[in-house]
Copies of this chain bind each other. A is one copy, B any other.
Amino acid sequence: MKVVAEIFSQGEEVVSGQTVDSNAAWLSQHLRDIGFVIKRHTAVGDDLSDLTALIEEIANRADCCICTGGLGPTVDDLTAEAVGLAASQPLILDAQALQQIEAYYLHRQRPMPPANRKQAYFPQHALRIDNPVGTAPGFALQIKRCWFVFLPGVPSEMKAMFATVREQLLARFNLQPDKLVSLRSIGIGESAIQQCLEDLILPDDVQLGFRATVDEVQTKLLFPADFPQAELNACVQQTASLIGDCVFAIDGLAAGQGGDLLTVIDQLMTAKNYRLAVLETASSGLLAAKCQGKDWLETVLIAKDSLCAAQQLAVQVNDEELTAHAECLASELKQQQNTDFALVQLYSGTQIDYQRKDKTIVLYNCLKTDAGVFHRQHTLGGGAQTKQNQAALLSLDILRRYLQNTCL
């Protein structure tokens, strides 16, 4: 039995195109992961009759609908009112919701604006969903065939609240999720991975898919709910070994094997109590920003280019070849800071190349450890933000490779 879900996004900013609706994709993925079949996404603006009409439509054709947006304190936030109309329920003050909103402001030592009181009104018989990170609580209720869940449109709040929603949905619906395993990789593109997997033969009922984000490429294997675990493990291992050491984590296989690049590095650094010093150029602070709160990052220096980098470490570098230059700086940095590792990032290419989408720069990473010196080199393309992000991640990846003992 397929359980049909829809996604509904409310907001003039979505419908007018000012905001790209990333909530819809995020929610679809997460609903699909737990076994829903997603049939439709719809976005409408802040218009009461449009909202009411849409809720009534969905109430007749879906089993579950997650709605985002329109829960704010302002006059154009109309979701609760529209739901009340569609469900023929009056809006009732939820005393606990009001208390939570008041506490939010008290905590920040600011008076609660009177407008926020509105956020504590829900249609009668609705289930309140607490918001641990913002002022707007959510709510859920059944209208005809469909269980509606209303969440704020701010992605961080929506995501924080989805943890609770997920548990409620698992309890409410009889879902048989496929098993999804994601092989997470960095430093290799989607089409290169596809080429690696040319000779891979998967059972007919296993689906292969790909998803590229700004940070990584995920190779996804979707197995039926009753697929034997041993055979699943074999499929995953075969796929991982074909992609090779660009795979830094596998989600959905065993606990502790998954996570993003920083989570993987954090676990390895913390377990061994290692300390790291970094000199970044191309990523201009973004590497440090990604490591916010990580104790193992002892020191970060930021320099505009290799010359400024040498000045910061007060070393004379005669070698104009960047690999040798990076190695000299890494040795000096490790010695000055007395850390387990020193990571130096340099690049060749002008600021103009950096800013232009049609130009590339070459990134040089050097990791100095007590066991030796390791180098990696990458050509980076794309806009300035893409280059900056790739530089930060690929510098961190040389550390991940060392810590995971993969071939450097």
Contact = CB atoms under 8 A, between A and B. Distances in A.
A21 B20 contact: yes
A138 to B, nearest CB: 16
B293 A384 contact: yes
A52 to B, nearest CB: 14
Given A293-B355, A379-B109, A381-B107, A16 B42 contact: no
24 contacts: A16-B29, A16-B32, A17-B27, A17-B28, A17-B30, A17-B38, A20-B21, A46-B209, A72-B191, A74-B210, A76-B210, A107-B360, A113-B192, A115-B191, A116-B191, A132-B357, A133-B383, A156-B382, A156-B383, A156-B385, A284-B292, A285-B287, A300-B302, A302-B302
A288 B284 contact: yes
Residue of A76, A109, A302 most packed against chain B (CB within 10 A): A302
A220 B107 CA distance: 29
Interface string A112-127: 0111100000000000
A137 interface: no
A202 interface: no
Contacts of A109: 379
B115 A195 contact: yes
Interface in A184-233: 190-192, 194-195, 208-214
A12 interface: yes
Given A13-B211, A21-B21, A42-B41, A195 B113 contact: yes
Contact of A73 (B75, B191, B384): B191
A71 B242 CA distance: 25
Contacts of A381: 107-108
Contact of A154 (B20, B22, B39, B212): B212
A273 interface: no
Contacts of A54: 40
Given A284-B291, A289-B283, A191 B24 contact: no
A253 interface: no
A20 B17 contact: no
Given A9-B41, A17-B24, A21-B41, 9 more contacts: A15-B38, A17-B27, A39-B50, A115-B191, A115-B195, A156-B214, A283-B289, A285-B292, A293-B354
A286 interface: yes
Contacts of A50: 39-40
A72 to B, nearest CB: 6
A18 interface: yes
A31 B384 CA distance: 26
Contacts of A19: 25, 211, 213
Contact of A289 (B30, B114, B388): B388
A142 interface: no
Interface string A370-408: 000000000101111110100000000000000000000
Interface of A: 9, 12-22, 24-32, 38-47, 50, 54, 72-76, 107-109, 113-116, 132-133, 135, 154, 156, 160, 190-192, 194-195, 208-214, 283-289, 291-293, 295, 300-302, 351, 354-355, 357-358, 360, 379, 381-386, 388
A7 to B, nearest CB: 8
Residue of A47, A107, A295 most packed against chain B (CB within 10 A): A107
A283 B355 CA distance: 24
Given A16-B29, A288-B284, A24 B43 contact: yes
Contacts of A39: 15, 44-45, 47, 50
Contact of A21 (B24, B44, B208, B292): B24
Contacts of A354: 293
B285 A108 contact: no
Contacts of A208: 75
Residue of A22, A116, A288 most packed against chain B (CB within 10 A): A288
Given A15-B39, A29-B16, A74 B285 contact: no
